[in-house]
């Protein structure tokens, strides 16, 4: 009976490349180092162990937030805070804002210097904690559009009261749904200085508002 092949390499009590070496009790032929059960080293950047059946690109890259994105988000929050601070308390109360944020916005006016800077950082923190910040921004935009519409209507009313039939014709051409004869009657009545004239000016504004449509 032939003898089993033997290994000529000197005996080594410990083999393996993993974190926990494996004690080899007997030498096998041909002499090869035993592979660790931990797997192999990833060939990409960094030292990371993966399974033998996992490709180098199998693990999806981790999404990381850059410093530029963090700075842009902080500037956006600060701009929202400044827009809220520029409004009056009555205008802020019409928005869906938590009471704690309303109180913080009201306290900003009485602070100066570094205390105000710390207080505004608290306001930004409260804004970040809102469940739906985008809804608040949309509500603020709608308020801004409403104010712009009111200013535009006020300019048209002043132009019609101080202008001629050419200005009336310009408004009718810009907004075809307007009634020319009704506007002319209201413009003439609004020129009076009594209570009837004041009532006609209010009605003229509402009539312009009904005919006005955003571009």
What is the spatial distance between Cα 182 and Cα 185, in angstroms, rounded to a whole number? 5
Number of domains in the chain: 3
Residue 113 is assigned to a structural domain of this protein: yes
pLDDT at 214: 53
Q: Domain limits at 107?
A: 67-131
CA distances from 146 to 96, 122, 140, 152, 161 (A): 17, 30, 10, 10, 23
Q: Are residues 116 and 172 in the same domain?
A: no
Structure tokens at 36: 């660790």
Domain-terminating residue out of 131, 159, 183: 131
Return the beta strands (E) in 86-168 as ranges.
Answer: none
Q: What is the CATH number of the domain that holds 167?
A: 1.10.60.30
Residue 142 is assigned to a structural domain of this protein: no
Domain-terminating residue out of 78, 101, 131: 131
Sign of the Cα torsion 129, 133, 139, 140 reads: positive
Q: Are residues 87 and 124 in the same domain?
A: yes
What is the spatial distance between Cα 36 and Cα 15, in angstroms, rounded to a whole number? 9
pLDDT at 23: 47
Residue 189 is assigned to a structural domain of this protein: yes
Q: Are residues 119 and 165 in the same domain?
A: no
Residue 137 is assigned to a structural domain of this protein: no
pLDDT at 100: 92
Beta-carbon contacts of residue 152 (< 8 Å; ≥ 6 apart) = 212
pLDDT at 123: 92
Residue 49 is assigned to a structural domain of this protein: no
Q: Are residues 103 and 159 in the same domain?
A: no
Residue 57 is assigned to a structural domain of this protein: no
Provide the residue-wise pLDDT of the chain in tens; the chain has 215 residues: 555 555 555 555 544 444 444 445 544 545 555 555 454 544 555 555 555 555 555 555 667 778 888 888 888 999 899 888 888 787 788 888 889 999 999 888 888 889 889 999 999 999 998 888 888 888 888 766 677 788 788 888 888 888 888 888 888 888 888 888 888 888 888 888 778 888 888 888 888 888 876 54
pLDDT at 56: 53
Q: Which residues pair with 49 in a beta bridge?
A: 41
Residue 43 is assigned to a structural domain of this protein: no
Residue 140 is assigned to a structural domain of this protein: no
Residue with tokens 């007997």: 26
Q: Is the pTM of this model over 0.75?
A: no
What is the spatial distance between Cα 85 and Cα 91, in angstroms, rounded to a whole number? 10
pLDDT at 140: 82
Report the SS3 class of residue 14: strand
């Amino acid at each position: 009976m032939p003898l089993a092949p033997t290994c000529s390499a000197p005996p080594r009590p410990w083999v393996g490349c993993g974190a926990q070496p494996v004690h080899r009790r007997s030498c096998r032929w041909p002499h090869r180092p035993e592979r660790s059960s931990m797997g192999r080293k990833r060939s990409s950047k960094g030292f990371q162990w993966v399974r033998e059946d996992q490709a180098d690109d199998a693990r999806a890259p981790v999404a990381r937030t850059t410093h530029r994105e963090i700075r842009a988000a902080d500037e956006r929050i600060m701009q929202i805070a400044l827009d809220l601070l520029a409004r009056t308390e009555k205008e802020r109360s019409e928005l869906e804002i938590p009471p704690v944020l309303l109180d913080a916005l009201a306290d900003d006016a009485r602070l100066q210097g570094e205390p105000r800077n710390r207080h505004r950082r608290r306001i930004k923190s409260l804004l970040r904690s809102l469940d739906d910040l985008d809804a608040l921004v949309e509500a603020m935009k709608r308020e801004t559009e409403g104010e712009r519409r009111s200013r535009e209507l006020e300019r048209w009313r002043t132009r019609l009261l101080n202008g001629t039939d050419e200005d009336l014709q310009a408004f009718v051409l810009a907004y075809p749904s307007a009634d020319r004869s009704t506007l002319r009657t209201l413009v003439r009545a609004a020129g009076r200085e009594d209570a009837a004239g004041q009532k006609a000016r209010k009605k003229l504004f509402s009539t312009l508002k009904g005919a006005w449509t955003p571009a």
